[in-house]
Copies of this chain bind each other. A is one copy, B any other.
Amino acid sequence: MAEEVLVFGAWGSPFSRRVEMALKLKGIEYKYIEEDLTNKSPSLLKYNPVHKKIPVLVHNGKPVAESLVILEYIDETWKDHPILPKDPYERANARFWAKFIDEKCLSAIFKACWGEHYEHEKAEKEHEKAVKEVSELLQFLENELKEKRYFGGETVGLLDIAANIIGYWLGVFEEASGAELLTREKFPKLCNWANEFVCVTAIKENLPARDKLIAYLRNRFGAGNASK
């Protein structure tokens, strides 16, 4: 029986792009369905009634939601080109840092780029605080890279894919908002990693066009905090 693999996503989302990146790395064919997030389809609501969010992977009719859960499912279902290491301790590390990116980095980055709507004086202080926080968080990832080419070692793995937000979206957020976060002086390893990461075929094929994303972000969130 031919497998049916569907991905419900949104073109600019690092989360649904994660799913596509993993499938591309493993050479799995899939059908991509673009969701209009302002008017979600009955299929999306049926497949993810809990969170009503993209991404959802539907494999032979069975839905899996939450990008990190999907990545693990993909790795356990299609064994070629594993994205998690074999060693339990290294696997725990990859999971720990992927969770860290989603739970700590993302909101901090967003705050540093677009922040909350304060009056002028307060906004400046809050912006500085947020930039400092992002800097501390990125330092942990800089250290975690050690002397490795990718977080996954010699090849791209689950943590690299989860870090797509740092490897590609962060640079776009910086340009759209004017914030300066991932500087080469402070984070040479992360910058080198990001440069290599976006050149990997399965990754490169799944990055939304920079100009389109910048236009979308500016339209949605304004010119950013740094310019306030």
Interface residues on A, range: 20 to 34
CB of A65 within 8 A of CB of B96, answer: yes
CB pair A72 B50 closer than 8 Å: no
Number of copies: 2
Residues of B close to A70: CB separation below 8 A? 92
Residue in B59, B64, B99, B100 whose beta carbon sits within 8 Å of that of A96 in the complex:
B64
User: Which residues of B lie under 8 Å from residue A104 when comparing CB positions?
Assistant: 50
Interface pair A73/B50, CB less than 8 Å apart: no
Q: How far is the CA of A156 from the CA of B100 in the complex (A)?
A: 28
Which of A62, A88, A91 is the most central at the interface, judged by chain B CB atoms within 10 Å of its CB?
A: A88
Partner of A89, one of B62, B66, B95, B96: B62
**Contacting residues, chain B, for A221 (C-beta < 8 A):** none
A69 in contact (CB, < 8 A): yes
Q: Which of B64, B95, B100 contacts A92 (CB 8 A)?
A: B64
CB–CB A50/B100 < 8 A: yes
Interface residue ranges, A against B (CB under 8 Å): 50, 59, 62, 64-66, 68-70, 72-73, 76-77, 88-89, 91-92, 95-96, 99-100, 104, 140
6 A–B contacts from the bound complex (CB under 8 Å): A50-B104, A66-B95, A66-B99, A69-B99, A72-B92, A72-B95
